[in-house]
Amino acid sequence: MVQSSEDQAAKTEEPTERKVQEAFKKGNLMFVKDVYSVCIMTAWTVSVIFIIPDIVKGILNYMCGLLTHAGNLSFSCGPGVSVGTLFLKVLLYMTPLFIFIIASIILANFLHHFKFYFSFNSVKLDFSKISIASGLSKILSKKNLLDFVANLIKLLLLIVVFTVSVFKFWNTIINYSLLPLHVIMQNIFSQLHFFFILSSVVVGCVACFSYFYSRKIYFNKLKMTRQEIKRELRETEGDHEIKKRIRYRVVQRWQSQLANAVPKADVIVTNPEHFAVALSYNSEVANVPKVTAKGKDMMALRMKYIAKKNNVPIVPNKQLAQGLYKEVAVQGAIPPKYYTIVAEILSFVISMKNSK
């Protein structure tokens, strides 16, 4: 228990998105009962105000119609016919209420998790979790203590709301025996409206506090150590040192290739700033010149630097440099459409060497 507390104390970093998603997949979801309570209470409040009055009115009208025409009812098919018809009629009137309550429960789940999520890990049997010590620790946990306090506060507040509602309408309640039925029903619904609206406000306030406090406890449990953050970064993005060494080796290989290819080239054709292509021609090996090296931007500058250092001719030709860079691979022969211009450049270079 002490070691667990020390481990939790070492977890000072906020959980990453990956850690939260892994917790979701394992079925470790944040569950706040008060969120469902306030949604269901709100649903009942809306029902009492907008749906139930019409249902009661429809049922009463139907019952009054049955009683008014009771003498004309036919019982030729047995007394069960009227009872079945009455039951179906009442069920028909109650259908909108059932649909609304079911939709409210689904909406409560959506608002609670901000998305529909189900994990089989949360319902999978795990015998390692069956422990008296762990069971006692869960019973005495902060979350259960919070739920108990929240439920106690809700109960006390609802008792207060009920008492206030009774005292507010007490004079009307004691005079119900003197009032017509329709007036009594209107007063009852007015009292229910007051009670449910005030109860929804009270439960909503408790749910807000419970939700944010439970959220804080939930994410505190998911907090990570700095070592866990570093390990996750290595797993998701790769080791920075390994990437650095790979980049260094690529640069070294590239510089080595340029250092070997450029000094042996017959000419360097440039953009003149952004592209550079090294051309070499050996009539004993191939019938056409080939590209021995090419580069863009920094590589092009490096090629020109090596060429100047080794007295390799540099000829600026924008179209030829861009064309060879884009169309010809290293150690590839130049296309026939460039034969003429390349031959002219090589002839110019050879004449320059002979003149020296």
Residues 67/2, Cβ–Cβ less than 8 Å? no
**Does residue 115 register a pLDDT over 60?**
no
- Specify the pTM: 0.47
> Is 284 in the same domain as 227?
no
Distance of CA 185 to the CA centre of its chain: 49
Establish if 239 belongs to a structural domain. Answer: no
Q: Residues 315, 230: one domain?
A: no
Same domain, 194 and 53: yes
Q: Is residue 150 part of a domain?
A: yes
| pLDDT at residue 349, as a whole number | 86
**pLDDT digit string (tens) for 32-82?**
777 777 888 888 888 888 888 888 888 777 777 766 665 555 544 444 445
Burial (CB count <10 Å: 0-12, 13-18, 19+), residue 322: middle
Q: Judge if 193 and 312 occupy the same domain.
A: no
Task: Note down the domain range covering 258.
Answer: 244-355
Per residue in 289-324, pLDDT tens? 899 888 888 888 888 989 898 888 989 988 898 999
| Among 270, 204, 35, CA closest to 279 | 270
Helix ranges (H only) for 11-51 are: 17-25, 33-46
Q: Domain boundary residue among 205, 234, 263?
A: 234
- Distance in angstroms (rounded) separating the CA atoms of residues 166 and 169: 5
Per-residue pLDDT tens digits for 217-257:
888 888 888 788 878 777 666 666 677 777 888 778 887 88
For residue range 316-335, what is the model confidence (pLDDT) as tens digits? 988 898 999 999 888 889 89
Q: What does the block give as tokens for 92?
A: 């028909």
What's the mean pLDDT in 160-165?
A: 89
Domain count across the chain:
2
**Mean pLDDT over residues 126-154, rounded?**
65
Judgement on whether residues 193 and 134 belong to the same structural domain of the protein: yes
Q: Return d(Cα 294, Cα 8) in angstroms, integer.
A: 57
Identify the CATH number of the domain in which residue 293 sits. 3.40.1690.10
Please check whether residues 263 and 311 belong to one and the same domain. yes
